[in-house]
Structure 1
Amino acid sequence: MTICLKVWRCPNMPDPLKRRHETFSSPVRGPGTSGSSPYRFATICLAVLCAVLLISIIAVTARYKNTPQAGGEATAEMQKESANVSAMNALITKLQEENKELQKEKGELQVKLTSMMTEKGTNVNKILVAPIVCPTNWHLFDNSCYLIAKQLRSWSGSQTYCQSQGAHLAIILTAEEQTFLWNLLPRGHWNSYWFGITDGETEDQWKWIDGTPLVGGFWEENEPNNHINEDCGYIVKTEVLERVATKSWYDAPCSMSLPFICEKEMSTIPHTKHT
């Protein structure tokens, strides 16, 4: 048995250092060999992970970059709404206070008014309208008094008498007024009464005593006819019951002597009465 003093010098024994050197210094296999596949796969995975990590970092950065701005806008909007609500509450409070003051003033004024009315008492003035009172033998209709005169006069003479009474020959404008006057007339064989209408100025242009033109009228059929220069109008009421008030006007010569109807307008004058 051979004893070697230096192990690395023994020719018959394998050198472990040499074997290690041979192991590490063995040539690297080419890309086509199966030994390089694990390293290549690990490299690809590492690259993918790096890419994912980079994308995640970018996304997170962008999110945190935008989040403060959106949050700021929301905060500003909330602050604005809060300010509006505060302003409305302040306005409501102010209006409520003003309403209380007005109610207080109203109560004070009512107390003063009641006190004034109580103090004056019977000295309060009241405006009254005096009722129309017609003279004796005159008849009231609306705001006029009418006289059925029994004297016999010509048409112009009748007007002169009415004027002496502060009146004029009657001006009849409505069916109600015509019927009222006709009902005042007595029935007879041919009871006729002058009233204030004439066409003496222009034939067939009938006018009232005040100069206003006639509109319509209550003529009997075929009247006026100007049979013998008939320029003045009169009302007829007979014993024939079939005759009606609204067909009772005739024309006649103004010189005929007939009774007549006067009209006096009465004004309603208000006066003050102390109670």
Structure 2
Amino acid sequence: MAEGEDEVYENYAWGVFKAANNPPPAAKRGEETVYDSAGHRRFQHLACCLGILCVILLGGIIGVCVHLTNLTRDNKNLADQFGNLKQAYNVSESNNTNLSAGVQELKTRIQELETKTNNLNQKIQDMTTNWNELSISQAQWSIDSYCLGNIDDKCQPCQFGWVEFQSSCYESNDPYWKTWEEAREDCKGENSNLAFAHDSEEKEAINRLGVYGFWIGLRVEDGEWKWVDGSDLIENFWIDPPDPADGHCAVSAQGGGTWSSLNCNETRPWICQKKALMLSV
């Protein structure tokens, strides 16, 4: 190569080398800076979007977990309520069964009571019939006792053996002796009671029959003389004042006078008294 050519080549190579080592022009550097800034911003935007998506996804996951927890709790509550309702239903079924059995038992008892009531009504009806028949028979016997056996075949105010005075009939039971209570029961058996007097005429009638001191219907009750019809003795001078203790009864005076007081458990004859039969003329 010629000397001139060598010099040109060196200058050219040096220029190329320098051109390779020199920085790029300002315009080119600006383009690169703009390019780098836009990419960085896009990366930031993308990262931000990804972050937001992650937050949203995390929130959704948390919400789903909370919702699942609530659903699980609600499901457990519903299961418990269902169990309670089922238990209550079983109890109700058991109570219904027991009530049905109780109702059936009550129906059976009602039927038994109705049967017993019908039987009792039938017995009452039979007893009423028998009582009516007995009453008719007794009434007929009473009428016969007042009317039959008399000399003139006419009914009398008093039965045979009884003494009439005013509107009453009297019967003395002598020589039989009984206690005051036994004597009273005997009088009741003849539809009468022990004799009682509310005026002096009745008192004298009793005394005429009670010659030996007969039981009459007067005794001490609560420290007072009382007649068997429940009335008080008005004429206190007819008998001595009663003993403080009960258990004393009166006997008619022998032939008249003041009545005497004896222990009711002693025995004496007695006088019965009842209403005379009212006869129409």
Higher helix share: 2
Both proteins in one fold, TM over 0.5: no
TM-score class, shorter? 0.3 to 0.5
Structure having greater relative contact order (Cα 8 Å, sep ≥ 6): 1
Larger radius of gyration: 2
Task: Determine which structure has the larger strand proportion and give its number.
Answer: 1
Q: TM-score, normalised by structure 1?
A: 0.42
